[in-house]
Chains A and B, each alone.
Chain A
Amino acid sequence: GENVEQHPSTLSVQEGDSAVIKCTYSDSASNYFPWYKQELGKRPQLIIDIRSNVGEKKDQRIAVTLNKTAKHFSLHITETQPEDSAVYFCAARISGGYNKLIFGAGTRLAVHP
């Protein structure tokens, strides 16, 4: 079946450094790729998303890039802060299904002061 692979599973950085999380997807017809952030004990929340008709999208310290040919997309966080510490999930919308998102396994990001 369709799947999304996410790497790394854990990531530890110093405050102020950049963090990059990468995902690959299998459905070449996928056209929507959201990123969710889940803080400890809280619900997942959308932080940024990208559609297949663009290659990059930026929102302040967060950016997402998409390579459709290689079927991978990445989340970039610059100038990391301790409040960025959370689990980040990537997802891809599967073609042919109503609103069906397939999620990656998550990356636990720790930002150390």
Chain B
Amino acid sequence: ETGVTQTPRHLVMGMTNKKSLKCEQHLGHNAMYWYKQSAKKPLELMFVYNFKEQTENNSVPSRFSPECPNSSHLFLHLHTLQPEDSALYLCASSQVNDDEQYFGPGTRLTVT
């Protein structure tokens, strides 16, 4: 698959589980983003990475832990989540000096 890919596409986890979301971009970009999309709410920016360095943490709870090992990969490590964390988690990428962000298909997360 080209563009921005995300795995898994669907995830159900209990509140005591630990899981990770993966994002990979095949566009040669150097900026990557995590967004949370909840029903009837705006897309919420969570984290921004430019050249593998975190430049934005939008007051995200510590139960969400991002990791960016290189410009092509981005992870979101999850632990002790709450039911209200259930949402669609979208990854995006762009060039640092370009405005257009390309989104992945998202991971639909359900916390039980």
Contacts from A to B (Cβ < 8 Å):
4, 6, 9, 32, 34, 36, 42-46, 49, 89, 91, 93, 97-106
A98 touches B55 (CB 8 A): yes
CB neighbours (8 Å) of B40 from chain A are 9, 105-106
CB < 8 Å: which of B4, B41, B42, B94 contacts A99?
Answer: B94
Total residue contacts A-B, CB cutoff 8 A: 61
CB < 8 Å: which of B41, B44, B96, B103 contacts A45?
Answer: B103
B43 touches A44 (CB 8 A): yes
CB neighbours (8 Å) of A44 from chain B are 43, 90, 103
| B25 in the interface (beta carbon within 8 A) | no
Expressed in whole angstroms, the Cα–Cα distance for A111 and B53 within the complex equals 43
Would you give the 0/1 interface string for B72-112, flagging 1 where the beta carbon is closer than 8 Å to chain A? 00000000000000000010001010011101111000000
A99 touches B31 (CB 8 A): yes
A89-B43 CB under 8 A given contacts A32-B99, A44-B90, A98-B31 = yes
CB < 8 Å: which of B43, B55, B105 contacts A103?
Answer: B43
Closest to A97 in B: B56
A43-B50 CB under 8 A given contacts A93-B99, A99-B33 = no
Expressed in whole angstroms, the Cα–Cα distance for A106 and B43 within the complex equals 9
Closest to A108 in B: B40
A4 touches B42 (CB 8 A): yes
A42 touches B48 (CB 8 A): no
Closest to A51 in B: B99
Q: What are 7 sample pairs from A and B whose C-beta atoms fall under 8 A apart?
A: A4-B42, A93-B99, A97-B56, A98-B31, A98-B56, A100-B45, A106-B42
A98-B42 CB under 8 A given contacts A43-B103, A45-B103 = no
B106 touches A43 (CB 8 A): yes
CB < 8 Å: which of B31, B42, B94, B106 contacts A104?
Answer: B42
Expressed in whole angstroms, the Cα–Cα distance for A19 and B96 within the complex equals 33
B56 touches A103 (CB 8 A): no
A99-B50 CB under 8 A given contacts A43-B90, A89-B43 = yes
